[in-house]
Structure 1
Amino acid sequence: MSLAHAVLTSLIEKSSSGYDLARRFDKSIGYFWHATHQQIYRELARMEAAGWIESSSAPDAGKTRKREYRVLSAGRAELARWACEPSAPMDLRDEFMVKLRADAALGEIDLRDELRRRIALHQEKLAHYRAIEQRDFLHGKPLSREARIHHMILKKGILLEEGSIAWGAEMLAVLE
């Protein structure tokens, strides 16, 4: 996946200034596709040069150079083309797994504290995801198709965190 497609998705959801886009990105797509604000700004420039988006002076720009970006038909077509391409399943590239293999090979590394730290981080993220779920999706009202899709994406994050916590607890028992 390219950052351009993540940015296009965010801009289709809502035209934004680069700053507002980067902040929104951090709170949504950024949970599963991280990018720095600088990377987002560079991508906006590339996408504008490609004719996928256009910018204009933001209504609240005043005397600043603040720009608001919106997706053009070429950008919509690119996002639709990309979305129809097959995607590879997520690869597990986790440095900690290699450290565990090293522990198994050497037999003398104590990784329990690191594992406990990682479990705590997964618990924090799970609590955050559940708070979002409670706030945005569990209010008893029927959800639109768009909201149901967003909820299912969040549920995948919840399941990943729950699985990581369960695996961590089981691995901790092996290490003790």
Structure 2
Amino acid sequence: MSLAHALLTSLLEQPSSGYDLARRFDKSIGHFWQATHQQIYRELGRMEKAGWIQSGPDPEAGRTRKRTYAVLPAGRDELMRWAAEAAPLTELRDEFLVRLRADAVVGPLGLLPELERRRALHADKLRAYRAIEARDFAPEAEPTRRRRIHHLILKAGIQYEQGWIGWYDEALHTLSED
């Protein structure tokens, strides 16, 4: 996936200024695809040159140079082309797992504090996802297709964090046995 496709998706949801887009990105897509605000602005420039989006002065910006971006038909076509491609399976690549393997080979390396720290980070993220779920996906809300898909994406994050927390619990138990 490229940042451009994430931005096209977000702009199709709502045309925005670069600043507003970056803020919305941080609160939604940014949970599973990270980008700095600088990267977002650079990509918006490339997308505009490619003819995928256009920008114009923001009518509410007053005297500032704030611009609003919107997706052009070519941008929608690109997003549809990309979405139709087979997505590669993300490979697990975690430096800490290599450290754990080294612990198995050379003996205890004092990894328990790092295991506890990493477990706590996953627990924090899980709490954040649960808060989003409680705030945005109340059972009484109308279950539109869009809402159900957004909830499905959030559930992937919830299950991801739950899986890592369970793994860290097992790892902490295993390393504590020695």
TM score, norm. by length of structure 2? 0.97
What residue is the counterpart of 2:132 in the other structure? 132
Question: 1:120-172 CA distances to partner (integer Å, 9 max, x unpaired)?
Answer: 11111001101111111123233100000000000000000000000000010
Letter matched to residue 147 of structure 1? R
> What amino acid is aligned across from residue 103 of structure 1 in structure 2?
D
Structure 1 Cα separation of the partners of residues 91 and 129 of structure 2: 22
**Unaligned regions of 5+ residues in structure 2, if any?**
none
Please name the residue that 1:167 is paired with.
167
After superposition, where does 1:102-121 map in structure 2 within 5 Å? 102-121=102-121
2:62 alignment counterpart: 62
- 5+ residue gaps, structure 1, are none
Instruction: Give distance in 1, aligned partners of 2:59 and 2:98.
Output: 51
SS at match of 1:47: helix
TM-score normalized by the length of structure 1: 0.98
Q: Distance in 2 between matches of 1:122 and 1:130?
A: 12
CA deviation profile, 1:8-50 (whole Å, cap 9, x unmatched): 0000000000000000000000000000000000000000000
Mapped to 1, the partners of 2:11 and 2:141 lie a distance apart of: 27
How is 1:23-38 mapped onto 2 (pairs within 5 angstroms)? 23-38=23-38
CA-based RMSD of the aligned residues comes to: 0.8
Runs of 4+ residues deviating >4 angstroms: none
Partner of 1:123: 123
Identical columns (%): 64
Quote the Cα distance in structure 2 between the aligned partners of 1:151 and 1:45. 31
Q: Which amino acid aligns with 2:14?
A: K
1:72 has 2:66 as partner: no
